[in-house]
Amino acid sequence: MTTAATTRSAPSHLTRLKRRTGGGEALVGFLLLGMLVFIAAGAPWIAPHDPEAIATGRVLGPPDLGHLFGSDALGRDVFSRVLYAFRVSLSVAIGSVILAALIGVPIGLIAGYRGGRVDAMLMRPLDLLLALPALLLAIALIAIIGPGALTVLVAAALIYVPILARVVRGSVMVTKQMPYVDAARARGVAERSVMIRHVLPNSVGPALIQGTVLMGFAIQIEAALSFLGLGAQPPTPSLGVMLSDGRDVLTQAPWVEIFPGLAIAVTVLALTLVGDGLRRQLDPRGMAR
């Protein structure tokens, strides 16, 4: 039964913004993420130095005005490298999830809606994929295709397809029971339309949230693989590569390691906050009204 209480006061702009993004923390997350994407996109214009320019005179130089994050073992400007590395890492993170969604969401939708044999046929191969350890799968793929950022993207996408499919499938199985789905069917709407126009938009929420979590993981997968030398190949900077490079000189020039590490942490934090906000935004709207 509905409650009579509905808010009617005029909230401040900040409050409204907070509500639409699902809370104060999520707003911070969104802003942060936006900033990071902006930085990544604008790296060529923002970076003060060429990320690959070797300057033997500045080897392991500490941070100063010209080199905000200092210089690494080859005298390269860490700040510029971090900026460019963001491009690679964010592209892999966002790209892998988008690719996984393009494949996984339709599979989950059809499997969840049709059920029965179609469901079994679609989900079994994905279950198989899920059963394989992610990192091993990635390494196997790299062995076949060869190392590089793009391979990492594909590998992560492959790992994510079954996860997203499963999330969507679960959500669809709940949504398809809703009376408004029956109503559309009974009103003569074709099944395909019902699936795409009613079931999909109402089931995609949990997948969105899961997507942000997976993006956070992707950053870390990329970093891990690059750390092992299997990801982005030199001289292309990636956050993982930089972590790997910085390890050797940790005691002499900690800034070479710290700043890329911080960059990873900040990105994952931003993604997590956005994910939390999305969850809060999507859940209460259904329940509180």
Partner 1 sequence: MRALLATPATGRVLDVQRLGVRFEVQDDVVSAVSNVSLTIDAGEIVGVVGESGCGKSTLAMAIMGLLGSTAHITGRVELLGRDLAGLTVEERRQVRGDRMSMIFQDPLTSLDPAFGVGDQVAETIRAHRTVTPAEARARAIGLLESVGIPAAATRYSDPPHRLSGGMRQRVVIATALANDPALLIADEPSTALDVTIQAQLLSLLRDQRDARGMAILLITHDLGVVAQLCDRVAVMYAGQLVETATVEQVFRAPRHPYTQALLAAQPSAGLARGSLRVIGGQVPDLSDPPPGCRFAPRCPLVRPECDSPPELLAAQPGHSVACWADPATHPGAAATASSTGAPRGAAA
Partner 2 sequence: MTPLLEVRDLVKEFPIRHSLRGTATVVHALDGVSLSIAPGEAVAVVGESGSGKTTLARCILGLTPPTGGAIVLDGVEVTRGDGRALRAFRRQVQPVFQDPYASLDPRWSVARTVREPLDAYAIGSVADREARVGTLLDLVGLTARMAPRRPHELSGGQRQRVGIAAALALEPRLIVADEPTSALDVSVQAQILNLLAGLQRELGIAILLITHNLAVVEHICDRALVMYLGRLVEEAPVPTLFADPRHPYTSALMAAIPYPDPSRRLPQTVLRGEVPSPIDPPPGCHFHTRCPVAIDICAVQRPATTQFGPAHRAACHVAAVAAQSTPSFAQVPSVPQ
Question: Binding residues for partner 2, per CB under 8 A?
Answer: 1-2, 178-180, 182-190, 193, 198, 201-202, 285-286, 289
Interface contacts to partner 1, rule CB under 8 A = 1-9, 11, 15, 19
Name the binder of 11 from partner 2, partner 1, none, CB < 5-8 A by kind. partner 1
Name the binder of 198 from partner 1, partner 2, none, CB < 5-8 A by kind. partner 2
Residue closer to partner 2 by CB (options 203, 244) is: 203
Residue closer to partner 1 by CB (options 17, 35) is: 17
The least CB distance from residue 19 to partner 2, in Å, is 14
The least CB distance from residue 283 to partner 1, in Å, is 16
The least CB distance from residue 47 to partner 1, in Å, is 43
Name the binder of 186 from partner 2, partner 1, none, CB < 5-8 A by kind. partner 2
The least CB distance from residue 289 to partner 2, in Å, is 4
Dist CA 147 CA 92 (whole Å): 13
Name the binder of 15 from partner 1, partner 2, none, CB < 5-8 A by kind. partner 1
CB 78, CB 256: distance < 8 Å: yes
Place of tokens 């000189």: 249
Dist CA 28 CA 26 (whole Å): 5
The least CB distance from residue 5 to partner 2, in Å, is 13
Residue closer to partner 2 by CB (options 201, 234) is: 201
The least CB distance from residue 288 to partner 1, in Å, is 9
Residue closer to partner 2 by CB (options 58, 198) is: 198
Name the binder of 236 from partner 1, partner 2, none, CB < 5-8 A by kind. none
Residue closer to partner 1 by CB (options 216, 277) is: 277
